[in-house]
Chain A
Amino acid sequence: MKIKREEEYYWQRLDNAAKIFPAISNRFSPSVFRLTVKLTSAVDGDILQRATEQALKDMPSFNVKLRRGLFWYYFEKNFAVPVVKEDNAFPCRRIDKFSDNGFLFRVLYFEKKINLEVFHVLTDGTGASHFLRHLVYLYLQEAFPQEQFEEETPSRPADSPLALDEDSFQKYQRLGDEAEKPPFSSAYHVEGVRVFGAEMKVVQGIFSASQMVALAKSKGVTVTAYFTALLLESIYQESYRYHEKKQRVSVCIPVNLRNFYKTDTMRNFFSTIGVAADFYNKEHTFDELLELASHQLQEELSAKMLADKIRYNVQAEKNLALRFVPLFFKNLGLKLIYQKGEKAHSITLSNLGRMTFPKEIAAHIDRYEFLLSTTKSQGLKTTAVSTGDVMVYTFTSNLEEMQVAKRFFRMLVAEGIPVTIASNEREEKADENL
């Protein structure tokens, strides 16, 4: 196999956010997320295989493997071929160097679904959605040759590898002030019985996007603020009030920094903000929670606060004393930092927004889904994403009890929004004993 010289010598440092994920990833906290496109017809595995191979050639940012240096991890070109398989296990399993031919993603199919699972070291939800969009386009082109598909020309310069590989954290960290360590307080955690092994439960609510937007508008808040308030209320009603503790209930909300800074990067470029409510010896009405969520979101989503966060993280990475610590010890330190970060919030809400497709492609798409893997410290994660008029809100959990999701969807139904539930629940549970 002929290898191009520039590919043989290609290497890339990890972006600022990516550096933490290889340190903390294990069977129970894989840091893997899944993007799914559910088509209107069954998926052909062979066509998907060819489409994946072509998509990799077109988007070389994904064509890498992870290697260990003495001080840091780095990327190199992966000369293997990706293998597309039928899904036969629970979602968001760990991706390590032994699985998937060294690639940091896997493409699975099941019935009508195309699943793209990505290890967070490679990119974030937005970066992965570009890859999936191209993959779906290539798949449909071959699967339906009689139809004409057009690819939405993305605004980014697709043929500039330096732009696509850019560590935008480094580029924009000059804009912040000299940043201090952000304050930390641990949040209330939903208690429950852990599922057996490393399996993950998925419960999804499918409903009309336009109705949801109208509902949020009628209350004068954004959809994200409405979901945040629903989560705070659900956690309070179904869990907190029976285990009252001094800790606040906090929702962690990842923010796509591409909405604030100009960049074409395919790598990670996100930050997180928190919306918290104090329920200790207090009660809040739902409308109070709506106002609280809306207000805190507006405050935190300011360019200045985000710039300070970027600067704090990049400073930590550039600190000479830390740079010369061998990778083994760095990983131990990063593990502690990450666990602390996870404990600071009760739950996560990642709203990927609206996914738009050209008309001919959209006609083949039923819905778009987004799943986050859970961690040992934060057993409940949620996401929202929509395409066309279909919005999917997903709960992923490593706890058996689903009462928070139950309250959440019941509240939506009570506001007049019909909800359909999909789940990976099985009737027969795995037996814990021999």
Chain B
Amino acid sequence: MKTCKACGVTVENRLENCPLCERPLKEVTPDYERDYPGVRSHRRYRILFKAVVFLSLAVGAVSLFIDYISPSQMLWSYLVVAATLYLWVSVLFALRSSHNVGLMVLVQILGLSGLSVLVDYLTGNHHWAIDYVIPGMTVLGSLVITLTILVKPMHFRDYLLYQLVIALFGLLCLLLLWFDIPIVRWGYYASGFYSAFTVLGMFLFADRKTKHELKKRFHF
């Protein structure tokens, strides 16, 4: 127990200076209370994070600049920037939501689709990304989530929304057919049907849970 003469108080923690006025304390008895732990420092992780941000920005800027002044046609620097962004998004989501399979699948579908479209465009525009990768990723992602729901029915309410969003994505992609963008069409027919059947399956086999989940998510 210490006292502060200036403030007229006793201090029950083992401190050198008074928490109120910062003057030195005087010991009265050698017994003390431990009320609060030492503060844990998170500084190292935050510094590492900032260093990686710094590195990514530097690499991106330098690549864009070299590409800009170089005489070659292919804009490989766009690929570097896109790949860096994709890696950032993947790692961040993996660290924060590693147990949320639905979100991870959605992020990967969108990320890999975007990245592959860019690669395709920069490597001669052979159309393989739009024709095969996008519908393929949609079906694969939808399948993964359906399997997860079947294996872990307890987490249905976590995955339902993502299942529906991916199915919606698969159905919206059919609009690309309307605008005649893909050259090979059967991929989109397949993913369109798969998405429609998935939604039908949910409302047939899990209608109570599905409707309940939608009511919660969209209540106002």
21 contacts between A and B (CB under 8 A): A69-B217, A70-B218, A72-B219, A86-B37, A87-B36, A111-B33, A197-B42, A406-B7, A410-B20, A413-B8, A414-B8, A419-B9, A420-B10, A420-B12, A421-B4, A421-B7, A421-B20, A425-B15, A426-B39, A430-B43, A431-B43
CB-contacts of A1-58 with B (<8 A): 1, 3, 9, 11, 13, 38
**Cα distance A402–B19 in the bound complex, in angstroms:** 8
User: What is the CA–CA distance of A159 and B211 in the complex, to the nearest angstrom?
Assistant: 29
Interface centre among A323, A413, A424, A431 (most CB of B within 10 A): A424
**Would you give the shortest CB distance from A103 to chain B, in whole angstroms?**
15
A423 touches B10 (CB 8 A): no
B34 to chain A, nearest CB (A): 5
A3 to B157 Cα, complex, angstroms: 14
Given the complex, which residues of B lie within 8 Å of A74, measured CB to CB?
216, 219
The 10 closest A-B CB pairs, nearest first, are A424-B36, A406-B20, A423-B19, A413-B8, A71-B220, A89-B40, A323-B220, A425-B19, A69-B217, A420-B10
- Distance of A372 from chain B, by nearest CB (Å): 16
A110, B38: Cα distance in complex, Å? 11
New A-B pairs, 9, CB < 8 Å, besides A199-B39, A402-B19, A418-B9: A69-B216, A70-B218, A76-B216, A402-B20, A405-B20, A418-B10, A420-B10, A420-B12, A427-B16
Nearest CB of chain A from residue B165's CB, rounded to whole Å: 12
Known: A409-B7, A410-B7. A89 touches B19 (CB 8 A): no
Tell me if B11 is interfacial: C-beta within 8 Å of chain A.
yes
Q: A402-B20, A409-B20, A413-B7 are in contact. Are A89 and B37 (CB under 8 A)?
A: yes
Beta-carbon nearest neighbor of B4 in chain A: A421
Q: State the Cβ distance, B89 to closest chain A Cβ, in Å.
A: 17
- Chain B, interface residues (CB within 8 Å), range: 35 or more
CB of A125 within 8 A of chain B?
no
Contact B37 A87 (CB under 8 A): yes
Question: Cβ of A59 < 8 Å from any Cβ of B?
Answer: no
**Is A205's beta carbon under 8 Å from chain B?**
yes
> Is B125 engaged at the interface, CB distance under 8 Å to the other chain?
no
B69 interface hit (Cβ, 8 Å)? no
Residue B204 interfacial (CB < 8 Å):
no
- With A and B bound together, what is the CA distance between A197 and B15 in angstroms? 22
B83 CB, nearest partner CB in chain A, Å? 27
Q: Within 8 Å of chain B (Cβ to Cβ): is A340?
A: no
| Contact, CB under 8 Å: B38 / A79 | no
**Bound: A67/B214 CA distance, A:** 13
**B154 close to A79 (CB less than 8 A):** yes
Is B21's beta carbon under 8 Å from chain A?
A: yes
CB nearest to B7 among chain A residues: A410
- Given the interface pairs A405-B20, A420-B9, the reply to whether A111 lies near B35 with Cβ below 8 Å is yes
Contact mask for chain A residues 191-218; partner B; CB cutoff 8 A; 1 contact, 0 none: 0000001010011011000000000000
CA A74 to CA B47, docked complex, whole Å: 35
Which residues from chain A contact B9 at a C-beta distance below 8 Å?
Answer: 205, 409, 413, 418-421
Are the CB atoms of B19 and A111 closer together than 8 Å?
Answer: no
Docked complex: A61-106 residues within 8 A CB-CB of B: 67, 69-72, 74, 76, 79, 86-91, 98
